[in-house]
A and B are shown apart, each in its own frame.
Chain A
């Protein structure tokens, strides 16, 4: 079993829809949770960062962490074609290495 599981998709939704991206993990010691966005032929770009449990909102993006269920989510409201990218979840235990999910390929259709 992988430490971090993420559905690779692809996921295709119409413009304006609410998008939900999710990751599950097995290591209960993970404390730091991140979402990266990776456009085609580019490096990953840090989108959201959360420490421990709870929600964090930044514009149209909301990151949610449920440590009791070992489950994290990224919600995108009012999705735009420019949101089309691969979204990678990542997490780490303290100063240990980052562990990434496989990435979900998202397409927003105009």
Chain B
């Protein structure tokens, strides 16, 4: 399985600011995914990021709010822009595993005041 790291592991931010979350994988992968996990809730897919192309966003998520970069096959960033308290959540990146599975990073815990 892939080893995935995320930075920062947690942060406390002020309303109206932006935070960029980094995701690093120890092997080259075609597809990377960004999820949000709100307290007590399930995982919700934000977008899928392929290297060399624009990210594909799920319904309810827009590029202006969650811009994503995918500069190479081992790295991606997710920015949470113009944050509000409703953006307080855990943000997770994942990569494709074998047999249609996915492996997840440790998550970034975000609190917006």
Binding site for B on A (CB under 8 A): 6, 8, 31-32, 34, 36, 41-46, 49, 51, 88, 90, 92, 94-95, 97-98, 100-103
Contact = CB atoms under 8 A, between A and B. Distances in A.
B62 to A, nearest CB: 17
B99 A43 contact: no
Given A100-B42, A100-B43, A101-B42, A43 B101 contact: no
Contacts of B101: 32, 34, 46, 49
B104 A44 contact: yes
Interface of B: 1, 4, 40-43, 45, 48, 58, 92, 97, 99-107, 109
Given A46-B1, A46-B101, 16 more contacts: A6-B42, A31-B100, A41-B107, A42-B106, A43-B104, A43-B105, A43-B106, A46-B97, A49-B99, A88-B42, A90-B43, A92-B100, A94-B100, A97-B45, A102-B42, A103-B42
